[in-house]
Structure 1
Amino acid sequence: MRFLNITKRYGDNQVFDHFNLEVPPSTILSVVGPSGEGKTTLLQMAAGLLSPDEGFIEKEEGEQGGISYLFQEPRLLPASTVYENVELALRSSYKERNEREERTLHYLDLVGLQESLPLYPHQLSGGMRQRVAIARAFAHQCNLMLLDEPFQSLDIKLKYALVHAFIRLWEENPKTTLFVTHDPKEAILLGDAVCCLGDPKQPLLYQKIHIPRKARNIGDASLLALEADLVETLVRS
Structure 2
Amino acid sequence: MKVKEVADLVGISVRTLHHYDAIGLLSPAETTEAGYRFYSEHDLETLQQILFFKELGFSLKEIQRILEDPAFDRKEALELQRRMLVEKRSHVDHMITTIDKTIKEMMGEIEMTNEEKFEGMNFDHNPYEEEARRRWGDEKVDESKGKIKGMSKEKLSEDWDAIYTRLAKLRHGSPDSAEAQEAIHEWYEFLNNFGDYSYEAFRGLGQMYVDDERFTKNIDKYGEGLAIFMRDAMAVYADRKA
Query: TM-score band (shorter)?
Result: under 0.3
- Higher radius of gyration, 1 or 2: 2
Larger strand proportion, structure 1 or 2? 1
Of structures 1 and 2, the one with the larger relative CO (CA 8 A, separation 6+) is 1
TM-score, length of structure 1 as denominator length: 0.24
TM-score, length of structure 2 as denominator length: 0.24
